[in-house]
Amino acid sequence: MSEDLEYLKQRIPLLEYLQRHNWSAHPAGAAQEFVGLCPLHRDSRPSFYVNAHKNLFYCHGCGRGGDLIRFVQLFLNLPFRQSVAHLEQELMPAPASQLLEQTLAFYQFQLHRHSEATRYLEYRGLHDPTIIEELGIGYAPGGNLRRHLAGWGYPLDLLLDTGLINSHGRDAFCRRIIFPCGQAGRMVNLYGRSIGSAFPHRLLPGSKGGLFAWESVRDFPAAILVEGLFDLAVLWQAGFRNTTCAIGTHLTQPQFHQLSDRAGRLVYLALDQDENQAGQQASHELAQRLANVGVIAYIVQLPAGHDPNSYFLAGATAADFTRFLQEARPL
């Protein structure tokens, strides 16, 4: 076990991991030592030191230190075993990551070859080809992925391990619009939205990744959080490019830390206005969590029964949605 943990830490040095997650630092004078603001507490001046040679950190502000796994425990508030599992997921072997990229490219090629897929996008109000391409949207018709990937030399065992092919040898995604899910600059999953009668939502086993398109949203002073990827797509199409998505109402710890990684950020929670009040309850719970870490959250109250996608489909304009943003109030 200890050998496996050492190998895990060697595969991604602590300094590289921190920089991947947008930690800014400068040399501290000593060889291979760096200093920056502490990611573990509100830091007004740099107090977080990393020794790249020893692969260790220590903060003179909050007094906490340790190795890569200890940092993940503290940063994501996870127990030891879950921290190890998180790192293993983030360090997905290159062949598996490349496999997802190859699969997505295949699905993107299929999108405009199947009229039922393009009709469905129109049905959901998504018609801007630039947005469709930028979001990486594809289509899984089903029944042809295994043959395609075998032609690229991917073994069946790998397809089974990633969940792209089920135990019966069939495509996991069939008649589904596909969106890529990323984390730390890598593709870690695929989300499929059924266009037929099957259960609407499907992800491959493993992490659903970080907040969708976070790298293009994180620098905005205000962010809009929605539940679904079609909510995000129609808002981007309407000009609200500061919209991100957690794929559901439950934010994972990494997603929550992304949303709260900047003091003073405003977050507009535009979740579904469900008849059973599920979306409204989730909004209030998340707003409270964000308030506890100093992030101001505004709850957007769309008309009853609507989410952003259905609201625009019902004829709303960008000006209408802007009005609801302006009327939103903090918890």
Q: pLDDT of 257-266, one tens digit each? A: 888 887 788 9
pLDDT digits (tens, 9 = 90+) for 80-107: 988 888 887 776 666 788 899 999 999 9
Nearest to 107, CA basis, from 175, 208, 195, 22: 175
Domain C-terminal end among 203, 224, 251 = 203
CATH number at residue 39: 3.90.580.10
Range of lowest pLDDT (181-185, 243-247, 300-304): 181-185
Same domain, 195 and 290: no
Q: How many whole angstroms separate alpha carbon 207 and alpha carbon 277?
A: 27
> What is residue 49's predicted lDDT score, i.e. its pLDDT?
96
Same domain, 260 and 311: yes
> What is residue 13's predicted lDDT score, i.e. its pLDDT?
83
Same domain, 103 and 138: yes
Contact 227, 209 (CB under 8 A): no
Same domain, 128 and 86: no
Same domain, 149 and 220: no
Query: What's the angle, vertex CA 94, arms to CA 1 and CA 254, rounded to 5?
Result: 70
Pairing of strands 201-203, 186-194: antiparallel
Same domain, 110 and 78: no
Same domain, 85 and 101: no
CATH number at residue 308: 3.40.1360.10
Number of separate helices (H) and strands (E) present in the chain:
15, 14
Q: 209 lies in a domain? A: no
Domain C-terminal end among 71, 90, 109 = 90
Give the whole-number percent of the chain exceeding pLDDT 70. 97
Four-residue CA torsion sign, 227, 232, 235, 240: positive
Neighbours of 63 (CB within 10 A): 9
Q: How many whole angstroms separate alpha carbon 114 and alpha carbon 109?
A: 10
CATH number at residue 164: 3.90.980.10
Most confident of 95-99, 166-170, 173-177, 326-330: 173-177
Q: How many whole angstroms separate alpha carbon 180 and alpha carbon 104?
A: 7
| Size of the chain, expressed as the number of residues it contains | 331
Indicate if the pLDDT at residue 17 is higher than 90.
no
Distance from CA of residue 295 to its chain's centroid?
19
Same domain, 224 and 301: yes
pTM: 0.77
Largest pairwise CA distance in the chain: 62
Same domain, 238 and 181: no
Q: 208 lies in a domain? A: no
At 7, the pLDDT band (50, 70, 90 cuts) reads low
Q: 140 lies in a domain? A: yes
Comparing 121 with 4, which gets the higher pLDDT? 121
Domain C-terminal end among 203, 224, 242 = 203
Cβ neighbours for 268, distance < 8 A, ≥ 6 positions apart: 222, 223, 224, 225, 297, 298, 300, 325, 328
Q: 143 lies in a domain? A: yes
Counting the structural domains of the chain, the total is 3
DSSP conformation letters of 161-203? HHTSB-TTS-BS--SEEEEEEEETTEEEEEEEEESSSS-SEEE
> What is residue 1's predicted lDDT score, i.e. its pLDDT?
47
Same domain, 224 and 300: yes
pLDDT digits (tens, 9 = 90+) for 187-202: 999 999 999 999 999 9
Average pLDDT over residues 136-160: 93
Indicate if the pLDDT at residue 153 is higher than 80.
yes
Coil, strand or helix at 79: coil
Indicate if the pLDDT at residue 2 is higher than 70.
no
Q: How many whole angstroms separate alpha carbon 71 and alpha carbon 253?
A: 14
Average pLDDT over residues 4-31: 79
> What is residue 233's predicted lDDT score, i.e. its pLDDT?
98
Distance from CA of residue 175 to its chain's centroid?
23
Same domain, 98 and 199: yes
Average pLDDT over residues 275-293: 84
Contact 288, 311 (CB under 8 A): no
Average pLDDT over residues 139-147: 95
Average pLDDT over residues 226-231: 97
Nearest to 240, CA basis, from 180, 297, 322, 179: 322
Same domain, 142 and 222: no
Q: Which domain holds residue 301?
A: 214-330
Q: How many whole angstroms separate alpha carbon 243 and alpha carbon 223?
A: 6
Q: 100 lies in a domain? A: yes
